[in-house]
Amino acid sequence: MFIIITDKPGEYSSELDANVQPVESWKYIFYGKQQATFTIGEVTSEDARIKIIDAQDASCVNSVPSKFFGDFSDIEAARAEINELIHFSDIDARLEKV
């Protein structure tokens, strides 16, 4: 199973535990400015959790079970979801592989 984790500069970052292996990451560029980073992770255990850390207060941490991040059967399905999230109308949005 694969999940998508998001970091938003200046808002929050995400940390994977040992039960989620990062596969690839993409910068989301919207009108020339990076808005987020999407990471596709492979979940290796049902016990997987992701820490969401507030950028303004690092002591503000939520530990969220991976089941709340959706699940994709393969990496291609996760990539397709990211593309669907960022492409609509004629906006200037693109992904750059990290």
- Which range of residues forms the domain containing residue 10? 2-97
**Number of domains, the chain:** 1
The pLDDT of residue 88 is 78
- pLDDT tens-digit series, residues 69-98: 989 999 999 999 999 988 877 889 999 999
Share of the chain above pLDDT 70, in %: 100
The pLDDT of residue 90 is 84
Under DSSP, is residue 20 helix (H, G, I), strand (E, B) or coil? strand
Full-model pTM = 0.91
- pLDDT tens-digit series, residues 21-67: 999 999 999 999 999 999 999 999 999 999 999 999 999 999 999 99
State the average pLDDT for the chain: 95
The pLDDT of residue 13 is 98
The pLDDT of residue 50 is 98
What region does 70 belong to: left with phi over 0, alpha with psi -120 to 50, or beta? Answer: left
